[in-house]
């Protein structure tokens, strides 16, 4: 059993986050991210580590409007698959969004089943022109994108499974 610690991202996590994301990017599962880009948004990351501080997973909140954000950069190290870390990371990113006044989150994903299990619904990506204008138009995969857009409404507070409010 792995003891998992969830916390906000720190500057010391940047290279580990980049390695995790870019490992999946090499398999065309995610888009690559530079350490510099991660550093600029490190305050938007939630990470999962083991008790020795080794990165097990990450997820980020990417804000587009005062009430809209993307759940982005969701990645879990293969050695930690099946432990519920991805779900916990997404729930904590949602809580971060709710605390910032976000009322709707969306994600572009290849794993719609994962998000569906967390009450996300498939929607047309055209619903988010902010995303298209900022990111999709410069994406190298824009002409052959196979990601599916999912979305979820958030409420003023987000309840964890143990029923504690984390907003």
Question: Which H, E and C letters describe 116-167, residue by residue?
Answer: HCCCCEECCHHHCHHHHHHCHHHCCCHHHCCCEEEEEECCCCCECCCCCECC
Judge whether 110 lies within some domain: yes
pLDDT recorded at residue 81: 95
pLDDT recorded at residue 98: 94
Average pLDDT of adjacent 10-residue blocks, the chain of 167 residues? 92 98 92 94 97 97 92 96 96 96 92 93 81 58 72 69 42
Q: Which residues contact 74 (CB under 8 A, 6 or more apart)?
A: 57, 58, 59, 86, 89, 90, 93, 107, 109
Contact 69, 105 (CB under 8 A): yes
Residue 92: count other Cβ atoms within 10 Å of its Cβ: 21
Q: What CATH code is carried by the domain that includes residue 91?
A: 3.40.630.30
Model-level pTM?
0.87
Domain count, the chain: 1
Judge whether 23 lies within some domain: yes
Maximal CA-CA distance, the chain? 43
Residue 15: alpha-carbon gap to chain centroid: 17
Judge whether 166 lies within some domain: no
pLDDT recorded at residue 15: 98
pLDDT recorded at residue 28: 85
Judge whether 161 lies within some domain: no
pLDDT recorded at residue 109: 87
What is the domain range of residue 77? 5-153
pLDDT recorded at residue 2: 80
Cα(117)–Cα(92) distance, integer angstroms: 16
């Amino acid at each position: 059993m792995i003891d998992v610690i969830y916390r906000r991202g720190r500057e010391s996590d940047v290279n580990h986050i980049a390695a995790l994301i870019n490992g999946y990017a090499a398999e065309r599962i995610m888009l690559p991210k530079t350490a510099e880009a991660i550093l600029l948004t490190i305050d938007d990351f939630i990470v999962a580590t083991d008790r020795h501080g080794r990165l097990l997973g990450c997820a980020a909140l990417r804000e587009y409007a005062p009430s809209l954000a993307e759940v982005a950069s969701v990645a879990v190290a293969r050695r930690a698959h099946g432990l519920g870390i991805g779900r916990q990371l997404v729930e904590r990113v949602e809580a971060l969004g709710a605390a910032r006044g976000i009322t709707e989150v969306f994600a572009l994903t290849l794993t719609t089943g994962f998000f569906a299990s967390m009450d996300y619904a498939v929607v047309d990506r055209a619903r988010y022109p902010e995303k298209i204008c900022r990111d999709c138009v410069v994406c190298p995969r824009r002409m052959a994108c196979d990601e599916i857009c999912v979305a979820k409404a958030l409420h003023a507070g987000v309840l964890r499974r143990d029923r504690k409010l984390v907003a």
